[in-house]
């Protein structure tokens, strides 16, 4: 399994699949579709049926139940396993992983020229993987374990089930989606057509992660209209929109910035600021697990807008807030047995479940609100979206075991 995972994952990395949040197409890049075609052929080669890539780039396939008794087959739920095949636009992806065998616990030099080092001081979790095989970047790229590791793990698990028919399971479905990294992963996904009772995204991080809660999320755009006048004649005339923008940001609570929050604490994040004297624009993301606190955060932005308009007049400040996704806990808790099923699958694989909220989003959140409850399970990777990304192959093996255990549980 170890060699199969390395080979399969390495092949996936040879495909550039960065999504593009400025694109008007879906998927956002043609390169994703090229990789999608490869995955379609791989699924067919494995022997899955109903393999399809639709107009939106969604790849779906079925592994039929192998239970002889019809009544037992009908009693088992149809389970889905889902991963996304785009990679983050933060930086280019690697074309082949750097393989560090029998890791010693010391710093790993990723790139000598730039002195890029995967250091134990900065990433103490490395000590957990002494003696294991790590796949890393070359120090210039991200790795792409988010989420090509998830795809490799799902396909290896399906292959294992096909090769071991003595392991009985009901009907299994698989889906691979584009554009997750830009928040559009399941925008057009038809859960009714997919036909599952429940599913799992294989898109988490470190070994043992199991998540069924995520942020409520919104995006805010603040536009500010100033008045530019020659500075030599500006007294009582000039209105500098940049200063109002700075004032707006200062009125948000400093302790609710990402760098000061953890666990269930929400935040405001200023993602972009641009402008001049005449006009300025601020972009924020708003996050909170608690629905009431989430609504209060949005209301605070509107109150600040009102305050500044009273202060400066003429409706100079405008605030537009759009909801992005909701906490899937509300949709998963009524069917909590699917979380318990995953926990037991981890325990049976010798993995300690780490049940915690996602400090982010997942395709599973939107799928849950589309009627497909969908917790999130680890891939084993660390430091996604950057050049310090790495993944232990042994964690990937455990992910395969967990998927097999979930599929075969009665």
CA distance 358 to 341: 19
Handedness of CA 186, 189, 194, 196 (dihedral sign): positive
CA nearest to 204, candidates 357, 336, 95: 357
Residues forming CATH 3.40.630.10 domain(s) in the chain: 2-213+327-408
Q: What are 91's two structure tokens? A: 């930086």
Concatenated DSSP letters of 171-192? -EEEEEES-GGGT-TTTT--HH
Output the CA–CA distances (angstroms, integers) from residue 17 to 70, 83, 106, in the order listed.
Answer: 41, 14, 32
Q: What are 241's two structure tokens? A: 């929109």
Across 25-56, b (16+ Cβ under 10 Å) vs e yields: eebbbebbbebbeebbebbeeeebeebebeeb
The pLDDT value given to residue 69: 58
Contact 384, 137 (CB under 8 A): no
The pLDDT value given to residue 27: 96
Q: Is 282 in a helix, a strand, or coil?
A: strand
Q: Which residues contact 166 (CB under 8 A, 6 or more apart)?
A: none
| C-alpha of 95 from chain center | 21
Element spanning 222, H or E: strand 216-225
Given phi > 0 = left and psi -120 to 50 = alpha, else beta, which region is 394? Answer: alpha
The pLDDT value given to residue 119: 97
The pLDDT value given to residue 230: 93
Residues forming CATH 3.30.70.360 domain(s) in the chain: 216-325
Active site residues: 86, 180
Q: What are 296's two structure tokens? A: 């209060």
CA distance 380 to 283: 32
What averages of pLDDT result for each successive group of 10 residues across the chain (410 residues)?
96 96 93 97 98 97 85 76 94 92 97 95 97 97 96 98 96 97 92 97 96 95 96 94 98 97 96 96 97 98 97 93 93 97 98 93 91 97 95 98 94
The pLDDT value given to residue 360: 83
The pLDDT value given to residue 67: 84
CA nearest to 176, candidates 89, 99, 84: 84
Please state the φ and ψ torsions of residue 369, each to the nearest 5 degrees: -80, -5
Report the CATH fold assignment for 2-213+327-408: Aminopeptidase (3.40.630)
Q: What is the CATH number of domain 216-325?
A: 3.30.70.360
The pLDDT value given to residue 8: 97
Handedness of CA 12, 17, 18, 19 (dihedral sign): negative
Q: What is the 3-state secondary structure (H, E, C) of 21-72?
A: CCCCCCCCCHHHHHHHHHHHHHHHHHCCEEEEECCCCCEEEEECCCCCCHHH
CA distance 234 to 224: 19
Q: Where are the alpha helices (DSSP H) in 281-385?
A: 291-312, 329-332, 337-348, 363-369
Output the CA–CA distances (angstroms, integers) from residue 129 to 59, 103, 168, 378, in the order listed.
Answer: 34, 7, 33, 16
Q: Which residues contact 272 (CB under 8 A, 6 or more apart)?
A: 281, 282, 283
* 317 strand-pairing partners: 224
CA distance 150 to 161: 17
The pLDDT value given to residue 183: 85
Contact 64, 161 (CB under 8 A): no
């Amino acid at each position: 399994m170890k060699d199969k995972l390395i080979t399969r994952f390495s092949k996936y990395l040879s495909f550039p699949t960065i999504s593009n949040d400025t694109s008007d197409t879906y998927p956002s890049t043609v390169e994703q579709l090229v990789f999608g075609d490869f995955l379609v052929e791989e699924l067919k080669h494995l022997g899955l049926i109903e393999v399809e890539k639709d107009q939106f780039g969604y790849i779906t396939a079925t592994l039929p139940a192998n239970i002889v008794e019809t009544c037992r087959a009908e009693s088992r739920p149809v389970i889905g396993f889902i991963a996304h095949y785009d990679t983050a636009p933060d930086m280019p992806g690697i074309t082949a992983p750097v393989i560090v065998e029998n890791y010693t616990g010391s710093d790993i030099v990723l790139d000598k020229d730039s002195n890029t080092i995967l250091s134990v001081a900065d990433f103490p979790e490395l000590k957990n993987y002494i003696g294991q095989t790590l796949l890393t970047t070359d120090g210039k790229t991200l790795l792409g374990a988010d989420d090509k590791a998830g795809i490799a793990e799902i396909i290896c698990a399906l292959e294992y089930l096909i090769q071991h028919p003595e392991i009985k399971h009901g009907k299994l479905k698989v889906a691979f989606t584009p554009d997750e990294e830009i928040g559009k992963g399941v925008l057009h996904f038809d859960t009714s057509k997919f036909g599952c009772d429940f599913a799992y995204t294989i898109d988490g991080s470190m070994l043992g992660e199991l998540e069924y809660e995520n942020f409520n999320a919104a995006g805010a755009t603040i536009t500010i209209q100033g008045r530019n006048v020659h500075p030599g004649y500006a007294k009582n005339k000039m209105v500098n929109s940049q200063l109002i923008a700075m004032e707006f940001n200062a009125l948000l609570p400093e302790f609710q910035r990402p760098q000061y929050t953890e666990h269930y604490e929400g935040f405001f994040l200023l993602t972009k600021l641009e402008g001049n004297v005449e006009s300025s624009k601020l972009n924020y993301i708003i996050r909170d697990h608690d629905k009431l606190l989430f609504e209060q955060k949005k209301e605070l932005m509107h109150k600040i807008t009102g305050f500044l308009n009273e202060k400066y007049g003429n409706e100079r400040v405008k605030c537009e807030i759009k909801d992005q996704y909701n906490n899937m806990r509300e949709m998963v808790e009524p069917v909590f047995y699917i979380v318990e099923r995953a926990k037991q699958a981890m325990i049976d694989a010798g993995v300690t479940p780490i049940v915690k909220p996602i400090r982010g989003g997942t395709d599973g959140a939107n799928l849950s609100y589309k009627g497909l409850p969908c917790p999130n399970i680890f891939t084993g990777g660390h430091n996604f979206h950057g050049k310090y990304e790495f993944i232990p192959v042994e964690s990937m093996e455990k992910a395969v075991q967990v998927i097999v255990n979930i599929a075969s549980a009665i």
